[in-house]
Structure 1
Amino acid sequence: MHTLAYSDTDQRLPAPAPLHFRHEQFLANTDFEWHIHPWGQINRISLGILELQLPERTLAAPAEYLVWIPAELPHAAHIRQALDYVSVYVAPGLAAQLPPQPCLIPQTPLLRALLDDFCQRGVTAMADEWDTLQAQLLVQRMVQAGSLDDYLPDSHDRLLRPLLHALRAEPGNNTTLAAWAAQVHSTERTLARRFQQQLGMSFAAWRNRVRLLQALAWLKAGRTVADIAAELGYATPSAFIAMFARHTGMTPERYRRQLLAARA
């Protein structure tokens, strides 16, 4: 990869003290080529899925998570749906408290409230001591919330990569692991073992995560539960509802109602 320079936008911005916010709106299927930032960056999207390409892997994040990218780390991005986007640059002193590697941080109710307050007020630079204290609390609570390396891990394994690519592109694909094994000239047992070794979960669990990410995006876009279930390859809506509830603790309709209440 060639040496990457900071964008003109980054070079014009003042250093975060201790945070600096950028508020933007993006159209569906927006791509960002490889780039770096001079400061650590917190990424927040309003809905759907943010996909980041890192030097060694792809990181996919639903809107329920913040994405932390350390300073100087090359990355590219893809945004599937039109959405509101917030980028928060973090001063080195506070960034040192966050993980040294890119990761996902769950948006707890308090983290969401702190960020919502900054966003609703349209804050860019810190205006006063209260903003600075709120910024410090935000980062402290991010540390407390813990982190995940990735919600939907990727692999460059020659046997797994075709499966992962196909399922990302078509989450409703119901091809069995045995049929996949035949396509890549392997065995079902070998693929099952590699899923556990490379991704830390079974084939079925990984496919369910792909489907859940897509379902979250479609629910926010207003599609019906029946349509989503059919598109994702479920024989009945009840089978989809059971999967969704198992992963989120609520039904799709309850999730949709909470979205509508949050927007009101």
Structure 2
Amino acid sequence: MAIMKSTTDFSEWLEGPELIALSGGDEADREYRLGTREYDWHRHARAQLFCVGNGLIHVQTPRGSWLLPPHRAGYVPPDTPHRVRVSGALSGWSVYLLPARCGLLPAQPCVLAITPLLQELVRRAASWRPDAPHGPEQQRIAAVILDEIRLAPREALHLPMPSDPRLQRIARAMLADPAADRSADEWAALGALSGRSLRRRIQTDTGMSFSRWRQQAQLVWAMERLASGRTVAQVSDALGYASPSNFIAMFRRALGAPPAQYLSAHGGEP
């Protein structure tokens, strides 16, 4: 009889089936443990796709951070350093993929929109024995899961971190106080730069304009608080918006839906 592996072993296991799916929860005996917890810097030999049905996951990599709200999937390629903060997630799932099957999948960590089909296929895969070879039907399901990951639209919740130490100093200050009413010149002074130089350098370093990066930082900050139970009015007031409707309009422009609809979209989990 094969020996059942722990979750850590599954993520490092380069033998066995190409795809291992685990259903998650906050119970102590769960193989994929959720709840509220932090995982310091680590990496997996396998790629990981994961989703929560409630709460929020904040993933940080050396090149940036991104948020995983409910009913979206986070993808981390094989051997990618990352750390994770899970907040209030009581249900969800994780899929571990052999590196050899990841050639057509995203090269960088990202947040993906997920379809009801992918949810249902993962639900079925989570019922398989993770240490048993796949039969023909399971191989077909695994192939469709890989296609669904490959074709899934990416969500705009990534916040790239600059590599320039001066820009990093400014970025950390902006993340610590996203509501601060400072001009580009005032932010730039924290890194001994001019406002013009800050705009040029952050565009080159992150691929985002200064105003877009600042808005993205506010979205990351807002999403964490909304997922933890803060109201739209509380979040919009904390960010300095004149009214909740102004904040909702910004949120809708950036993510395509108002906060309540965005956070509740695509329900269902294994």
TM-score using structure 1 length: 0.78
The match for 1:3 is none
Distance 1:39 1:173, change over 3 A: same
Give the residue type in structure 2 aligned to 1:217.
E
The one of 234, 251, 264 equivalent to 2:241 is 234
The match for 2:3 is none
Distance 1:106 1:116 in 2: 15
Q: Within 5 A, what are the aligned runs for 1:172-211? A: 172-211=179-218
Cα distance, 1:115 vs. partner?
5.5
Distance 1:8 1:109, change over 3 A: closer
Q: Deviations over 1:177-210 (max 9, x none)?
A: 1211223222111111112111112222112112
Cα distance, 1:62 vs. partner?
2.6
Query: Where do 5+ consecutive residues of structure 2 fail to align?
Result: 1-5, 25-31
Distance 1:153 1:66, change over 3 A: same
> When the two structures are aligned, how many residues end up with a matched partner?
250
Q: Is the 8 A contact 2:38 2:84 kept in 1?
A: yes
SS for the counterpart of 1:214 is helix
Distance 1:163 1:149 in 2: 22
Distance 2:121 2:189 in 1: 48
Distance 1:235 1:163, change over 3 A: farther
The match for 2:9 is 10
2:177 equivalent to 1:170: yes
Q: Deviations over 1:202-244 (max 9, x none)?
A: 2221121122223333333332211110122222212101101
Distance 1:254 1:248 in 2: 10
Q: Deviations over 1:82-141 (max 9, x none)?
A: 324533211344223324x3321522324653466348x655537754443222111112
2:47 equivalent to 1:48: no
Q: Is the 8 A contact 1:45 1:85 kept in 2?
A: yes
- With 170-179 and 108-117 compared, the bigger mean Cα shift is at 108-117
SS for the counterpart of 1:89 is strand
Give the residue type in structure 2 aligned to 1:211.
Q
Cα distance, 1:250 vs. partner?
2.0
The match for 2:147 is 140
2:38 equivalent to 1:39: no
2:34 equivalent to 1:26: yes
Distance 1:163 1:118 in 2: 46
SS for the counterpart of 1:156 is coil
2:162 equivalent to 1:155: yes
* More relative contact order, 1 or 2 (CA 8 Å, 6+ apart): 2
SS for the counterpart of 2:159 is coil
Distance 1:149 1:36 in 2: 23
Q: Is the 8 A contact 1:16 1:91 kept in 2?
A: no
Give the residue type in structure 2 aligned to 1:79.
R
Cα distance, 1:79 vs. partner?
0.7
Cα distance, 1:44 vs. partner?
3.0
Distance 1:223 1:206 in 2: 23
Q: Is the 8 A contact 2:21 2:122 kept in 1?
A: no
2:67 equivalent to 1:61: yes
Distance 1:35 1:198 in 2: 25
- With 136-145 and 150-159 compared, the bigger mean Cα shift is at 150-159
2:270 equivalent to 1:262: no
Distance 1:149 1:248 in 2: 7
Distance 1:9 1:209 in 2: 32
TM-score using structure 2 length: 0.76
Distance 1:262 1:45, change over 3 A: closer
Distance 2:96 2:198 in 1: 41
The match for 1:70 is 77
Q: Within 5 A, what are the aligned runs for 1:87-126? A: 87-99=94-106, 101-110=107-116, 112-114=118-120, 117-118=123-124, 122-123=127-128, 125=130
Give the residue type in structure 2 aligned to 1:59.
S
